[in-house]
């Protein structure tokens, strides 16, 4: 048997992790069971002592979940992956599982809304504090270092501003200070960004997005670069209980087979839409790493295999224009989330980031006319004519 890690990414998408049984099933069966029968008392005792490998109880492990985890570890290029019930379960398990009271985090200021809330409002109750900085500035990161800093938490491209942070340069800081280096790689997926090439220790994904890709699952994953870091977070997840269920794990594993096809097609559409928006007189500014006008275009070229399919743009008419666009657009579904086959559109100021204070929004560059688009895999001419129609109305 060849080692699947030596095959190309496209082949890995289709075959990685697939574990069949004696029936010869071509895909991994769904082991929809909460618990596993022991052969006898001695067998049960050995499993609990860890003297023999096997399954005990689905919160602790399940073959369908394990197959999906193996696939993702291979695609991301890490040693092991840990499936979680949501992206937020992955963030929480990692932060609460690796840090303790008194520790300090430096985080990208423009992060996923619920991550911002968890780090800013919830973790301080347990003694873990966070400073949010513009991590596209290496100076800003260095200035935020405190004696108790333990973790760098980076999201790039950031949500929803598409600001890009220099992963290699941040990796040097992490190494120099022995910080735990975490990357939320949701926006890129392993097709477009390989966290472990830059010294990242843990990457996380909301698998709800590109990895599953069909807007029908909520799930998350933590991937470790070093196997040595796996047992501790696995144990934490066992206790915190944010386990993914076997059916969702099956759906994610199925989604992975078309991951590259979907990501590449959506990206092709996104580049065309970004160029269209940049020429549109009703648009003030477009943020997309595939445009030369993007402030970190060069860094994106260096660390990403492509610009991806998330675009944000600023409407000239502000809040009012944003609402107007939401109420008149066709094909693009007015919905939060991203990374699915269908194009989605949303207005952060009135939706995902509405809970942030005015100052926090301002500092994270979430302006009133900002619109975020997750481009899907529909026909590009249909998407463009839908945009044309809506711009005539606003």
* Residue in the block written with tokens 């100052």: 359
CB 89 to ligand PLP: min, Å: 7
- Distance CA(111)–CA(159), nearest Å, equals 5
Residue 87 touches ligand PLP, criterion: CB under 6 A:
yes
Helix (H) or strand (E) holding 265: helix 259-279
CB 112 to ligand PLP: min, Å: 3
Catalytic residue list contains 112: yes
Closest CA to 338 of 290, 295, 373, 377: 373
Structure tokens at 33: 């069971």
Catalytic residue list contains 388: no
Give CA torsion, residues 110, 309, 188, 197, to 10 deg. -110
Structure tokens at 367: 């302006």
Catalytic residue list contains 305: no
Structure tokens at 325: 């666009």
Residue 220 touches ligand PLP, criterion: CB under 6 A:
yes
> Left if phi > 0, otherwise alpha if psi is -120 to 50, otherwise beta: which for 332?
beta
Binding residue (CB under 6 A) for ligand PLP from 31, 112, 288, 313? 112
The residue (of 135 and 159) whose beta carbon lies closer to ligand PLP is 159
Q: What is the DSSP string of 7-55?
A: S-HHHHHHHTT----TT--SS------SB---SSHHHHHHHHHTSS---
* Residue in the block written with tokens 């094909």: 331
Catalytic residue list contains 59: yes
CB 272 to ligand PLP: min, Å: 23
Binding residue (CB under 6 A) for ligand PLP from 116, 165, 208, 303? 208
CB 308 to ligand PLP: min, Å: 12
Residue 364 touches ligand PLP, criterion: CB under 6 A:
no
CB 52 to ligand PLP: min, Å: 34
Contact string 115-134 vs ligand PLP (x = CB under 6 A): x-------------------
Residue 195 touches ligand PLP, criterion: CB under 6 A:
no
Enzyme catalytic residues: 59, 112, 184, 209
Residue numbers at the binding site for ligand PLP (CB under 6 A): 86-88, 112, 114-115, 155, 159, 184, 186-187, 206, 208-209, 218, 220
């Amino acid at each position: 048997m060849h080692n699947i890690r030596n095959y190309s990414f496209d082949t890995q998408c289709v075959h990685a992790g697939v574990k069949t049984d004696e029936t010869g099933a071509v895909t991994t069966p769904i082991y929809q069971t909460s618990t596993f029968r022991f052969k006898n008392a001695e067998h049960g005792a050995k499993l609990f002592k860890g003297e023999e490998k096997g399954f005990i109880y689905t919160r602790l492990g399940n073959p369908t979940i394990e197959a999906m985890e193996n696939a993702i570890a291979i695609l991301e290029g890490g040693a092991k992956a840990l499936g979680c019930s949501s992206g937020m379960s992955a963030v929480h398990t990692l932060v609460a599982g690796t840090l303790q009271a008194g520790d300090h985090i430096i985080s990208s200021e423009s992060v996923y809304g619920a991550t911002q809330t968890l780090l800013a409002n919830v973790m301080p109750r347990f003694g873990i504090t966070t400073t949010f900085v513009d991590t596209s500035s290496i100076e800003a990161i260095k200035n935020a270092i405190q004696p108790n800093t333990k973790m760098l938490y980076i999201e790039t491209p950031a949500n929803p501003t598409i600001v890009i942070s220099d992963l290699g340069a941040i990796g040097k800081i992490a190494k120099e200070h022995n910080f735990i280096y975490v990357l939320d790689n949701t926006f890129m997926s392993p097709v477009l960004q390989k966290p472990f090439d830059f010294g990242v220790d843990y990457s996380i994904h909301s698998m709800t997005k590109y990895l599953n890709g069909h807007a029908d699952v909520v799930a998350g994953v933590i991937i470790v670069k070093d196997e040595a870091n796996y047992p501790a977070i696995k144990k934490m997840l066992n206790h915190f209980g944010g386990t993914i269920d076997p059916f969702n794990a099956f759906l994610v594993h199925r989604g992975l087979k078309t991951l590259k096809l979907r990501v590449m097609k959506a990206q092709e559409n996104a580049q065309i839409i970004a160029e269209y928006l940049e020429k549109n007189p009703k648009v003030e500014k477009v943020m997309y790493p595939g445009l030369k006008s993007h402030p970190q275009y060069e860094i994106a070229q260096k660390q990403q295999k492509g610009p991806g399919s998330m675009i944000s743009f600023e409407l000239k008419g502000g809040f009012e224009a944003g609402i107007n666009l939401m109420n008149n657009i066709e094909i693009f579904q007015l919905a939060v989330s991203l990374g699915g086959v269908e194009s989605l559109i949303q207005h952060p100021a009135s939706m995902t980031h509405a809970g942030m204070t005015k100052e926090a929004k301002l500092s994270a560059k979430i302006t009133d006319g900002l619109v975020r688009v997750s481009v899907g895999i529909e026909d590009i001419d249909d998407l463009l004519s839908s945009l044309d129609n809506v711009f005539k109305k606003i």
